[in-house]
Structure formats: structure tokens, C-alpha cells
Chains A and B, each alone.
Chain A
Amino acid sequence: MICIYMLCLALFLVGLYCVVRKRNLIKIIIGIGIMEYAVNLFFILGGYIRRGRSPIFAADQVIKNMVDPLSQAVVSTAIVIGLAFTLLLVAIAIRIYEKSGTFDITKINRLKG
């Protein structure tokens, strides 16, 4: 189980590296996507039980060993936010490409920061 958490952390760091280090706007957007997925995966893992069952109530069911439904509900919300956000970023990237003809951030850099 600890192994999968480590992989999750590695995924997060890959995304962070991609955002920080890459020069292409589209690669930066993909990096943000990877980071979001890593966090979502971590949230799901937090509510997961090994050999757990789905949290559905019924008359003849015994309530035990259920995985946590709340973290799944939360993550589905987070995915929707991520979708809207990616869409906005891609739209901005397309407009930047129309204005400057390149996706390279070192070439479109006009502001001093």
C-alpha cells in the first residue's frame, strides 16, 4: 500500500516538474493535468479499503468494509473543476498562439514579472 502512495507522489512531482521546467504552453497545461490527477488519485486512495465493497444500502446487506463514498464524491467535483480549468487554459493558449505564432513561453515573454 505504501508503494502506491509513493507512486502517487511521483506522479505529482512529474506534473510539477512539467509545469516548472517545460517551455511549451501545451506541455505546461498537460503538466497541470497530471498534477490534478495525482491529487485526485491520492484523495481516492485515502478512502479506499482493501477488499472493500461499494457503499450501497439494501435491506439484506451488512454494513461493513465499505469504501468511503465521500472522497469519491469530492473527487468527481474536483475533476469537473479541473475540466473547466483546462478548457480555459487551452482557450487562452490558442489565443496566445494566434497573437504571437508560437507556443514557446520564452518567445512570448513580454511582461517583466
Chain B
Amino acid sequence: MNFVPFFVILPLAAAFLIPLTGKKIKIAGEVASIAATLSLAVLSFLVAALTAAQKALICNIGKWIAPAGIPMIVDGFSIFFLVIINVIAFLVAIYSVDYVKRYTDTWKFFTLFLLMVAGMNGVVISGDIFNLYVCLEIAAIAGYSLVAFDVDAEALEASFKYAVMGAVGSSFMLLGIALLYSYASTLNMADMALSIAGKGASKILPFVSALFLAGFGLKAALVPFHAWLPDAHSKAPTPVSAMLSGLLIKVLGVYALSRIFFNIFGMTPQVSMILIGLAVISMVVASVLAFGQTDIKRLLAYSSISQIGYIALGLGVCTPLSIMGALFHLFNHSIFKSLLFLNAGAIEQSTGTRDLRKMPGIMAISPVTGYTNLIGTMSICGIPPLGGFWSKLIIIFACIQADRPILAFIAAAVSALTLGYYFKAATPILFGSKEYRGINNNIGKRIAITMALPMAALAVLSILSVLILLPDTGRSFLGDAVAVLVRGREWNSAISGAMR
């Protein structure tokens, strides 16, 4: 029994069933999405165990052998993402149950939510570059419509902006894929890597690299391409913001970028230099812009851009240690950024505002939100025992080890900036001022247990995430992912052989 296709089948089937039953049964969406994401999370752990034993699981869809068929491949790098996606999607689905009560047709929300999960899982397990593009579009289109789910003027504008910029990025990607296909005569990623390696240097590869950097850089929201992110992530419904910031930019941007540049093209010094440049600009510019924000969700969105900069920096420096730092930071960031966005939703629910200047102080109103927010903030700032500290430390050490002290200095300085703007935000969020208590009717409204549980779980995860560095439990999980990237193009000869 091959479990690999179920990562796409399960959410797609659930997304298909919800509209059929949603009008009759009120809670169909909630039940189906929680059931689907729970089974996906369990399945991802199961497949993680299998992958650790076998190195790579390959499923040829419809028994078509590789060049004719589309393989689905789960290797160490894919399973790393699959576990993150499905665990966080499960927690966000639980959170959504209470959050979506404000909408009339909740089943539409859950249908789009599951389509987004299906698309992201598809991107991660796809072994064929065009299939990757299709899944990427599924996830992105579901994302555009979820951003507009509030249907007020601002949400619609944010969604339109996001969709137009996303479409331009997708056109660049498809153009790159077309050029690559006419050059390598195959769409299969492993074969493509072998074919490109066999042909040696060419003028077409730098051009395709530029197209992909623009396309996937736009999805990852690196700075010159970031303009859509603060709007889209702050105007989306809160569970969607958590999904977008915690997962979508990483899967569609960072995963696809690193899969293509490390495993197909092989990392060249030029690309690595550009990636480092984009990363440094993202880190610095976004942290400076974050200082001026008064909306919690906008501040978190700018902080996402800055943290994606750290991940890109780690990938760009391109030593085994820095890649490990980047992936570990990605793991941490998806946990604590989802947590902080879920917190922002809970804060809005119990205080009636997201404006930092009008915060009544969440600690007194809802201690669960307050303490989980404190843990998330501490982790993203890099306060020592928490995960965020170790991942930033590894990236900084890796920069020093790679003999790039300036980059290490910038990373450390941006970490101080991060501490600065989160400190500025955390004081009003946590303690606030008493004069705003009692203005709004919502104040003191208790948050539901379904909202508190995912936040508590994510807070515990962000405390425990450092365990992934321990040799026995997590090292193979993180180490396998790093190994796939470090081996680069060689990895594909193994995959290409195993496919047939």
C-alpha cells in the first residue's frame, strides 16, 4: 500500500464532499475538515517513519513509468514540509471552528481551506515540475479567494492586488518552465537535473534562474516583490492569515525555490549572491517598516517578510550548517508565526480591536491568549531557551563559519530590531492601558475552548521545537531534509534510478 497519493486525495475528496452536504448539514465543513486534516497529520508522521527507513518513497501514478507518467516523490526534504503543513493545518482547522461563526456559509470557507491544503501537499510531493506548477496554482487561487472571504472593500482590494501580483509571478514561472522544457526535453525534475548536468553551461540557465527567482521570490515575498503580503495577510480572516504566513509563503516560495535551485540547477555562486542580497534587503527593510505599524496583523506580516529573509539568507550562504539553520528557522517560524496570528484573532475577539494604540491589555482579560502570545513573542525575538533563539544562532554561526562576518553582523542586528518592534508591540498587547477597558461591548468575552487549544498546542510546540536538534529524536528528521539539499544534483541520480 502506497500512502503517498493520499496527501492530495484526502483533502481533495473532503473538499468535494463539503459542498455536496454543506447546505443540508450545518457542521459538515467543520467535521470534514478536522477529520481530513487530522488523518493527514497522522499520515504524515506515518510516512515520516517510512521515509526515514527507505530514504525516498516513490509512487508512479497510474503505474506509468517515469518519463511518461507523473511520479510523486517523498524524500527527506518533502516529508519535513509535509509534517509542518499537516500539523499546522490541523490546529488551524480546529481554531477555525469558532472563528467562522461570523460568516453565513461556513462550508465555503472549509472547502477553500482544504483545497489550499491539497495544493500545498501537492507542491511538496510532486516529482514533475509542471505538476508542481499546477498544485501551486491550486493553493494560490484558493489563497486569493480566502483573502477576499470577508468581502469588505479592503479585503477585496488586498485580494485583487495579491491575485494580480501572483498572476504575474505565475506567468514568469510558466515561461521559465517552457524554456526549461525546450532545453531539457523533459518535465520530470530528476531527469531534468541529469539532462541539464549533461549539457554543461548554457546561456539559457541564467535567464531561467532569473525568471524563477522573480516568480518564486514573489510567492515567498522577498523584498522587492513583497508589496502584496502586508495587505493580504492583514485583511484575510485570521485562520487564513496563519495559514498564509505560516505555510503558504514557505511552501510556494521557499520549498519550490530551493528544490529547483539546489536539486535541479545546482547552486551557483551568482544565484547564491542574489539570494543573499534579496535576503539582506528583506530582513532590514521589513524590520524597519514593521516599527511604524499600528495594526497587530500588519506588524506580524512585515515580520514574516523579515523572517523569510533569514531563511533565504541561510539557504543563500549554502553550507550544510546554514541550510540546517534555515530549515530549522523555517520550522520554528511556521509554528510561532501561526501562533501569533491565531493570538491576534483571539485578541480581536476578546477586545474588539487590533489597533496597538487602543489595547486594553490581554493578560487581564484572557490569560491563555496572553501567555501563549508571550511565548510566541519570546520565541520570535530569540530569547534563549526557545526555538527561535537556536535557529537564529545557527544561522549567525554558519555565516561566521562561511567567513562572512558582515552577514553575521546583519543577522544579529536584525535580530535586535526584531526584539525592538516586538517589545514595542508586546507591551500594549499584554498590559495595555485601563482606559480602554469597558469601551467595547466585546471586552471580557471569553474565547472558546476550540480557539484556546490550538494556541496552547502551538505554544507547547514552540517550546519543544528545540528537541528537533537532539541526535536521536529529531536529527534524522531535520538532517534528512538538509542532506537532500546538500547533495544537490547528485540526489537526482538516485531518484531517477529508483523511479524506473
Q: B residues within 8 A CB of A99? A: 152-153, 156
Q: Does B348 contact A (CB under 8 A)?
A: no
B134 lies within 8 A of A43 (CB) = no
B168 lies within 8 A of A96 (CB) = no
Q: A residues within 8 A CB of B171? A: 12, 15, 32, 35-36, 39
Q: Does B161 contact A (CB under 8 A)?
A: yes
Q: A residues within 8 A CB of B134? A: 77, 81
Q: How far is the CB of A71 from chain B (nearest CB, A)?
A: 7
Q: How far is the CA of A39 from the CA of B164 in the complex (A)?
A: 16
A71 lies within 8 A of B181 (CB) = yes
Contact among B163, B187, B227 for A70, CB-based, below 8 A: B187
Contact among B137, B152, B168, B181 for A16, CB-based, below 8 A: B168
A32 lies within 8 A of B161 (CB) = no
State whether A113 and B156 are in contact (beta carbons under 8 Å apart), knowing that A32-B167, A43-B174, A84-B141 are contacts in the complex: no
Q: B residues within 8 A CB of A92? A: 144, 148, 156, 159-160, 163
Q: A residues within 8 A CB of B178? A: 39, 42-43, 46, 71
Q: How far is the CA of A74 from the CA of B153 in the complex (A)?
A: 36
Q: How far is the CA of A39 from the CA of B67 in the complex (A)?
A: 23
State whether A77 and B130 are in contact (beta carbons under 8 Å apart), knowing that A42-B178, A88-B141 are contacts in the complex: yes
B157 lies within 8 A of A74 (CB) = no
For window 72-89 of chain A, which residues contact chain B by CB distance below 8 Å? Answer: 74, 77-78, 81, 84-85, 88-89
Contact among A28, A36, A81 for B164, CB-based, below 8 A: A28
Contact among B157, B160, B174, B235 for A78, CB-based, below 8 A: B174
Q: How far is the CA of A42 from the CA of B274 in the complex (A)?
A: 27
Cβ proximity bits A95-113 to B, threshold 8 Å, 1 near / 0 not: 1100110000000111111
A92 nearest in chain B by CB position: B160
Q: B residues within 8 A CB of A28? A: 164
Cβ proximity bits B113-137 to A, threshold 8 Å, 1 near / 0 not: 0000000000000000010001001
Q: How far is the CA of A42 from the CA of B181 in the complex (A)?
A: 11
The CB with the most chain A CB atoms within 10 A, among B145, B160, B175, B230, is that of B160
B182 nearest in chain A by CB position: A46
Q: How far is the CB of B228 from chain A (nearest CB, A)?
A: 8
Q: Does A67 contact B (CB under 8 A)?
A: no
Q: Does B158 contact A (CB under 8 A)?
A: yes
Q: Does B154 contact A (CB under 8 A)?
A: yes
B164 lies within 8 A of A96 (CB) = no
For window 308-363 of chain B, which residues contact chain A by CB distance below 8 Å? Answer: none
A81 nearest in chain B by CB position: B137
A9 nearest in chain B by CB position: B175
Q: How far is the CB of B216 from chain A (nearest CB, A)?
A: 16
Q: How far is the CA of A82 from the CA of B295 in the complex (A)?
A: 34
Q: Does B480 contact A (CB under 8 A)?
A: no
B173 nearest in chain A by CB position: A39
Q: Does B151 contact A (CB under 8 A)?
A: yes
A111 lies within 8 A of B141 (CB) = no
Q: Does B231 contact A (CB under 8 A)?
A: yes
B145 nearest in chain A by CB position: A88
Q: A residues within 8 A CB of B144? A: 88, 92
B187 lies within 8 A of A111 (CB) = no
Cβ proximity bits B170-202 to A, threshold 8 Å, 1 near / 0 not: 010011001101100001000000000000000
Q: A residues within 8 A CB of B148? A: 92, 95
Cβ proximity bits A56-75 to B, threshold 8 Å, 1 near / 0 not: 00000000000000110010
Q: B residues within 8 A CB of A47? A: 182
A33 nearest in chain B by CB position: B167
Q: How far is the CB of B249 from chain A (nearest CB, A)?
A: 17
Q: Does A14 contact B (CB under 8 A)?
A: no
Q: A residues within 8 A CB of B157? A: 96, 108-111
Q: How far is the CA of A25 from the CA of B160 in the complex (A)?
A: 9
Q: How far is the CB of B203 from chain A (nearest CB, A)?
A: 15
Q: How far is the CA of A42 from the CA of B175 in the complex (A)?
A: 8
Q: A residues within 8 A CB of B130? A: 74, 77
Q: B residues within 8 A CB of A32? A: 164, 167-168, 171
A80 nearest in chain B by CB position: B134
A46 lies within 8 A of B181 (CB) = yes
For window 2-17 of chain A, which residues contact chain B by CB distance below 8 Å? Answer: 12, 15-16
Known pairs A88-B141, A95-B156, A111-B157. 5 more at Cβ < 8 A? A19-B164, A96-B153, A99-B156, A111-B231, A111-B235
- A residues near B (Cβ < 8 Å) are 12, 15-16, 19, 25, 28, 32, 35-36, 39, 42-43, 46-47, 70-71, 74, 77-78, 81, 84-85, 88-89, 92-93, 95-96, 99-100, 108-113
What are 7 inter-chain pairs, A to B, with CB distance below 8 A? A16-B168, A71-B178, A74-B130, A85-B163, A95-B156, A108-B153, A113-B161
- B residues near A (Cβ < 8 Å) are 130, 134, 137, 141, 144-145, 148, 151-154, 156-161, 163-164, 167-168, 171, 174-175, 178-179, 181-182, 187, 227, 230-231, 235
